[in-house]
Amino acid sequence: MGKRTVIPFGPQHPVLPEPIHLDLVLEDETVVEAIPRIGYIHRGLEKLVEKKDFMQYTYVAERICGICSFMHGMGYCMTIESIMNVEIPERAKFLRTIWAELSRMHSHTLWLGLLADAFGFESLFMHSWKIREQILDIFEETTGGRVIFSVCDVGGVRKDINAETLTKIVGILNNVEKELKELTDVFLNDSSVKSRTKGVGVLTKEQAYDLGAAGPMARASGVEADMRCQGYAAYDKLEFKPIIETAGDSYARTSVRIGEIFQSIDLIRQCVELIPEGDIKVKVTGNPSGEYFTRIEQPRGEVVYYAKANGSKFLDRLRVRTPTFANVPALLETLKGCDLADVPILVLTIDPCISCTER
């Protein structure tokens, strides 16, 4: 055994958009152990259910994360609707699915840009985010907001998308698809990019399962877990199969996310074809009483909402288990045995969201 050195990584680091700290224990240039420390941006948002009533809390839920904002709002609303036995209109389910898949595209293209930035490919980073802008423009046109847009509500959605705009969205996505094909070819086929991702940070299927990994992190290791298979929102009406890779390395995680961007375009096209006419919201009366666990598939993976209500307008408890929180143990496993130079790439390949993690 060589001499061991401990190097602090983060909480401020060029590759980290948000603060997380890792104590990296090294032997020469090889990481033998990593110990995480979080808590730099703990906001106690779960505690706010004691101050904001269950309707107002939708706005707080959307602020758990700036990237999965819509998904957090949707997951929270679904949980309350389940407790109150509220059946939302079919059209609202399709609209939620469209915005959810656009959110996945926006999150994954953002992540592609961050990955490119991490291995120093600046033009690739800019191209990724240029494509992402078109998704944000769709958000702005359909909701009025680009990141946090508050269209989800308990009982349905607040805004409709007319047929003309839906057709326009499909047209935009057709162009985005072509641009993405060109962009993602670089991530998947460029030798310099592959040299940073192929065979780096391998997580086996057994490890991913045992460590409770979620989302693309698990699916890139061959674990077939995608909460959309449960058929919430309009997913039960759509043709859908999870994107799975088996190599379990950083390349596989990139490949899964790229596959999911194209899959999202396909799902949105299906939604536009199948969306029925009708109301977008039902009136919700009374207060929730009971408890419910909801699981949905965010861009970063499975998120769990647990709400316990006592019949008053304030919940007893809201618990949100975010995908990054679940992926931390898997990250620590992939870091063992890696080169120090690969740590930033490995941290990024779980697509960490510390804002979600700490809530």
Partner 1 sequence: MGLHTIQLIETKELLSETLRLKSDGYRIVAISATGLSGGATELSYSFDKNYDLVSLRFIANAEDEISSISLIYSPAFIYENEIKELFGVNIVNITLDYNNNFYTIPVETPFKKAGEE
Q: Least distance in Å: CB of 293 to partner 1?
A: 6
Nearer to partner 1, 134 or 207 (CB): 207
Nearer to partner 1, 118 or 320 (CB): 320
Nearer to partner 1, 252 or 330 (CB): 330
Q: Least distance in Å: CB of 212 to partner 1?
A: 4
Give the interface with partner 1 as residue ranges (CB under 8 A). 35, 37-40, 42, 44, 46-47, 209-212, 225, 227, 229-232, 293, 295, 302, 304, 306, 308, 316-317, 319, 321, 325-326, 328-330, 358
Nearer to partner 1, 40 or 129 (CB): 40
Q: Least distance in Å: CB of 87 to partner 1?
A: 14
Nearer to partner 1, 182 or 316 (CB): 316
Q: Least distance in Å: CB of 336 to partner 1?
A: 13
Nearer to partner 1, 202 or 326 (CB): 326
Q: Least distance in Å: CB of 46 to partner 1?
A: 8
Residue 233's alpha-carbon distances to 61, 148, 291, 325, in angstroms, are 18, 20, 20, 24
Q: Least distance in Å: CB of 177 to partner 1?
A: 30
